[in-house]
Amino acid sequence: MRVLSRLPVTVTLITLHLVAGVLGQGLWKPFDQSPAWDTFAYGLPAIEEGRWWAPITGTFLVSPSWLYVVVFAGYAGVAYLEYHRGSRIALGYFAGGQAFAIVATMAFLSLAERTPWPWAIAEAAALDVGPSGGTMACIAASATAMRSPWRERVWFTVLALSIVMLLFWGTLADLEHIFAVLLVLAIQHPLASHRTDLRERRLIAFVGVISLGVAQLLTVLRDTDGPLGDSGAVTASVADVVVDAIVIALIARGLRRGRRWAWVAAFILGGVNIAWAVVARTGVQVLSLPEARFGGDTTPLVGHAVLWVVFLGYLVWARKAFRAAGRTSIGRGPTPTAADAAAEVRAHGGGTLSWMTTWPRMSYLRTRTGLVAYQRHAGVALALSDPLGPADGRAGSITEFVTASERAGLVPCWFGAGEETRRGVPDGWRELIVADDTIVDLPGLSLTGNRWKPLRTPLNRANREGMTFRLTRFKEEPWGVQAQMRSLSQSWVDGKQLPEMGFTLGSIREATDPAVRIALAVSPAGDVDGFVSWLPVYGGEGTITGWTLDLMRRRPGGFVPVMEYLLTSSALQFETEGAQIMSLSGAPLAHEQPPDAGMIAALSERLSLVLEPVYGFRSLHRFKAKFHPRYVPVYLLYRDEGDLARIGAALVRAYLPDASLRQFADAGRGLIRRDERVAAAASPGDAAAHDPGRRPGR
């Protein structure tokens, strides 16, 4: 009701349509068969006969009845415009667009019917009803309330749709649509001074080739009767249609990613269509050959050829946007290595995730001032953490990475970025907090007071039971201890339906790095009851200022509060050594989103709940709260919501690079069965579900 209260114009217009539909019976039978059609429908004959009211009454009538669905869907554009820019502007664009579309259409036809143009003569004698001129104007105008690149996407789509429909099925409504769009185009000038970038040029090509494909498909499905002439549906087999659709889809996808092969393929396909149209029309018009020899009516071929000529001309103009080869590397020159990344981190410092950029599977872009570490999955260049190098050059590294990724036809994004990187991305980029980095400030750390009692208790218990804490490195431990650590890690992995995660979650392999420290909890019998690994956090000039938690493993049946013991003992040891911070890292998808965070944040929250039984992100987040950390947001930075589907796929492959489709399917079935068990346990008839003493298992 709050939303509807902000849409009085939209609600009123829809209500008037429903009332007119009931009074004119157009809701359940075709109004054009009613005796009132000639009285209330608008068009050139209505004005010539003095029915001045027709443009008003005809606006709120619809024929045939099924078009009410389309009309009401079109009011979504009016609602969007009214919601974001106000009722007066929405009413102005609707009324002005509808009036101009009708008047301009009649003026155009009154001139065109004096020529021997069959289409113009036929349309000049026709009548029409409906508000599509006004709704189309509002849809076009609503683009100004959108952020780039959605603004350009709406404009390109509306223009392409209007041109295709007019060219092939030029009804009065199609003519009204194009005039309404041209009116808004003249008022707003959305594209006149706008300089398209690389991405938008590819987007225009994508929309253009999809429009050509839709036009070809529609001419197969139904007759055309546009300005180019009337024709029957083009004769084509199902196989031909399917092949054409697949080819056009592949070319469109390639153009969207700036591929050179797609640009060449578009020229080949367009050249074939243009040449065939020339041959067919020459054969019919000059040589008087039967049209059947060319697969049926050749009129649509001319329309397709005209569109292809315009489209290929655009591809020639925008040719520099389509130079990305297949799987090319980002950047030029010698490819940096993990050793180069480690050297940059040591020399210039970094964030709590920076050491992860030295892990396997990472690629690197060398910039003028440093490095950017990234992984490439699903057409996405997924940069990790902040740029490496001098602090004053990181903004330039961000720009270079974005530019290089887009030139290679990849979607650039940043994962695990900090505040400095968030401020350095291009204007208009979106952000999503994917985790909270839990930072424990070490100077002056004291475990006194009631708030630290949950951590003092494990330390006291460990002393009573004879547990030993040791802060070491993997290679410094004897073979027996190493074997136990490997066994603990493998037993944890074996208990999961999906493989061990990667990207920002290390494994025992990363723990063997000499730069990584290991905290061990050893029982009096010599058993390793648990261990954690710590990644270095450099502050520049080779100085370590802190440590980041990575791997956490415990032995089943061992010392119960072993993790609290290990982390607390590590914190005390790091504080003694002079470290400034200890990061407990951020559990992915466990950030508490604000109420107004939006749809994407809501989806992230839902994903966190779904994956909780598998990886326990939220439980881990609650566990770390015992250490009373301060929270620093960790961001996912991306261009706009249109990239999120591909970014999501890239993150899945980055975190689970070795997972098979079968493992994903098994994990999905496991989640479903687990949800069913939870639902069954929560049923009113299950007394155990209401037992306050029962604790959920993990």
Supply the CATH number for residue 288's domain: 1.20.120
CATH number of domain containing 80 = 1.20.1540
Query: Does residue 396 lie within any of the structural domains?
Result: yes
Residues 422 and 530 in one domain: no
Query: Does residue 11 lie within any of the structural domains?
Result: yes
Give residues with Cβ within 8 angstroms of 299, minimum separation 6.
Answer: 224, 228, 229, 230, 231
Beta strands 380-384 and 411-417, pairing class: parallel
Mean pLDDT of 160-173: 86
Residues 672 and 534 in one domain: no
pTM for this predicted structure: 0.76
Residue that terminates a domain, selected from 565, 583, 601? 583
Question: What does the pLDDT read at residue 589?
Answer: 55
Residues 159 and 210 in one domain: no
Give residues with Cβ within 8 angstroms of 497, minimum separation 6.
Answer: 614, 663, 666, 667, 670
* H helical segments located in 222-256: 238-256
Question: What does the pLDDT read at residue 157?
Answer: 85
Residues 343 and 305 in one domain: no
Residues 209 and 179 in one domain: no
Q: What's the angle, vertex CA 513, arms to CA 509 and CA 516, rounded to 5? A: 110
Identify the burial level of 262 via C-beta atoms within 10 angstroms of its C-beta, where 0-12 means exposed, 13-18 middle and 19 or more buried: buried
Mean pLDDT of the chain: 84
In the block, which residue shows the tokens 């594209």?
Answer: 191
In the block, which residue shows the tokens 């040719």?
Answer: 319
Q: What is the pLDDT of residues 287-338, one digit of tens each?
A: 667 665 555 566 677 778 888 998 999 999 988 889 887 665 677 767 899 9
Residues 44 and 163 in one domain: yes
Question: Which of 90-104, 198-212, 253-267, 560-574 comes out lowest in average pLDDT?
Answer: 198-212
* H helical segments located in 296-348: 299-317, 338-348
Residue that terminates a domain, selected from 154, 173, 194? 194
Mean pLDDT of 483-495: 85
The residue segments making up the domain with residue 370 are: 338-432
* Phi, psi (deg, nearest 5) at residue 7: -125, 50
Question: Which of 252-256, 383-387, 529-533, 685-689 comes out lowest in average pLDDT?
Answer: 685-689
pLDDT at 351 over 90: yes
Q: What is the pLDDT of residues 7-52, one digit of tens each?
A: 999 999 999 999 999 998 889 888 888 889 999 999 999 998 999 9
Higher-scoring residue by pLDDT: 668, 600:
668
Query: Does residue 595 lie within any of the structural domains?
Result: no
Q: What is the pLDDT of residues 49-99, one digit of tens each?
A: 999 999 999 999 999 999 999 999 999 999 999 999 999 999 999 999 999
Residues 446 and 396 in one domain: no
| CB-facing half-sphere around the CA of 588: CA atoms within 13 A | 18
Query: Does residue 644 lie within any of the structural domains?
Result: no
Question: What does the pLDDT read at residue 696?
Answer: 29
Strand order in the sheet with 411-417: 363-366, 371-377, 380-384, 411-417, 630-638, 430-441, 581-583, 543-554, 528-540, 517-522, 468-472
Q: What is the pLDDT of residues 266-275, one digit of tens each?
A: 999 999 989 9
Higher-scoring residue by pLDDT: 167, 108:
108
- Cα(567)–Cα(531) distance, rounded to whole angstroms? 9
Question: What does the pLDDT read at residue 675?
Answer: 54
pLDDT at 193 over 60: no
Higher-scoring residue by pLDDT: 497, 492:
492
CB 85 within 8 A of CB 10: no
* Phi, psi (deg, nearest 5) at residue 570: -65, -45
- Cα(168)–Cα(222) distance, rounded to whole angstroms? 10
- Cα(374)–Cα(531) distance, rounded to whole angstroms? 29
CB 75 within 8 A of CB 10: yes
Give CA 628 to chain center in angstroms. 35
Residues 392 and 468 in one domain: no
Question: What does the pLDDT read at residue 99?
Answer: 96
Q: What's the angle, vertex CA 225, arms to CA 40 and CA 245, rounded to 5? A: 120
Query: Does residue 48 lie within any of the structural domains?
Result: yes
Model confidence at 169, pLDDT cuts 50, 70, 90, reads confident
Identify the burial level of 375 via C-beta atoms within 10 angstroms of its C-beta, where 0-12 means exposed, 13-18 middle and 19 or more buried: buried
Question: What does the pLDDT read at residue 685?
Answer: 39
Query: Does residue 594 lie within any of the structural domains?
Result: no
Question: What does the pLDDT read at residue 689?
Answer: 32
Q: What is the pLDDT of residues 199-248, one digit of tens each?
A: 888 988 998 899 888 887 777 777 777 787 666 655 666 677 788 889 99
- Cα(516)–Cα(520) distance, rounded to whole angstroms? 13
Residue that terminates a domain, selected from 415, 432, 449? 432
Query: Does residue 122 lie within any of the structural domains?
Result: yes
Question: What does the pLDDT read at residue 657?
Answer: 83
pLDDT at 128 over 50: yes
Residues 28 and 17 in one domain: yes
Q: What percent of the chain has pLDDT over 90?
A: 51
Q: Which long-range contacts (CB under 8 A, 24 or more apart) does 449-458 make?
A: 451/628, 452/628, 454/564, 454/626, 455/564, 455/568, 455/626, 455/627, 457/561, 458/561, 458/562, 458/564, 458/565, 458/568
Residues 218 and 189 in one domain: no
Query: Helices 67-85 and 132-142: crossing angle, nearest 10°?
Result: 40
pLDDT at 284 over 50: yes
In the block, which residue shows the tokens 């000049």?
Answer: 124
Residues 160 and 140 in one domain: yes
Cβ of 353: how many Cβ atoms within 10 Å? 24
CATH number of domain containing 569 = 3.40.630.30
* H helical segments located in 349-452: 394-407, 419-424
Query: Does residue 605 lie within any of the structural domains?
Result: no
Residues 238 and 175 in one domain: no
Question: What does the pLDDT read at residue 663?
Answer: 67
Mean pLDDT of 371-390: 94
Counted domains in the chain = 5
